């Protein structure tokens, strides 16, 4: 079974803090993704990576950055957290053979910024 793990299930941070969300997958997948999920807005892609040290912007990259130093690990960074970044953050991975359509998700991190 594909396993995608995320460093925290729940996180509370203050406005202006730098926040790191970590994601690790154990299936040797080339592609990794970060989404946020909000009621009424659905899943929105923040960034994705198709290889180590490679990254591409998704639909809503503003206020976020990412890092992929190792194949199995993809980090999302909120440089200066704001209240409008309160959300559920979901990491996913997919094998190179599928491009992006066969994505496997982690359990999510519910981030609250106060």
Partner 1 sequence: QKEVEQDPGPLSVPEGAIVSLNCTYSNSAFQYFMWYRQYSRKGPELLMYTYSSGNKEDGRFTAQVDKSSKYISLFIRDSQPSDSATYLCAGDSGAGSYQLTFGKGTKLSVIP
CB of 49 to partner 1, least distance (A): 9
Q: Does position 101 bind partner 1 by CB under 8 A?
A: yes
Q: Does position 4 bind partner 1 by CB under 8 A?
A: yes
Q: What angle do CA 81, 42, 66 make, to 5 degrees?
A: 40
Q: Which two tokens stand for residue 7?
A: 């460093």
Percentages (nearest 5) of helix, strand, coil residues in the chain: 5, 55, 40
CB of 16 to partner 1, least distance (A): 27
Per the listing, tokens 């202006």 go with 16
The binding site for partner 1 (CB under 8 A) comprises 4, 31, 33, 40-43, 45, 48, 50, 56, 58-59, 90, 92, 99-108, 110
């Amino acid at each position: 079974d594909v396993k995608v793990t995320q460093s925290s299930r729940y996180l509370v941070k203050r406005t202006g803090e730098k926040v790191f969300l970590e994601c690790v997958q154990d299936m040797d997948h080339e592609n990794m993704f970060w989404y946020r999920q909000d009621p009424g807005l659905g899943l929105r892609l923040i960034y994705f990576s198709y290889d180590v040290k490679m990254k591409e912007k998704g639909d809503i990259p503003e206020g976020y950055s990412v890092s992929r130093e190792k194949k199995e690990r993809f980090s999302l960074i909120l440089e200066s957290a704001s209240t409008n970044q309160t959300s559920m953050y979901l990491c996913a991975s997919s094998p190179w053979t599928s491009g992006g359509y066969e994505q496997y998700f982690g359990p999510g991190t519910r981030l609250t910024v106060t």
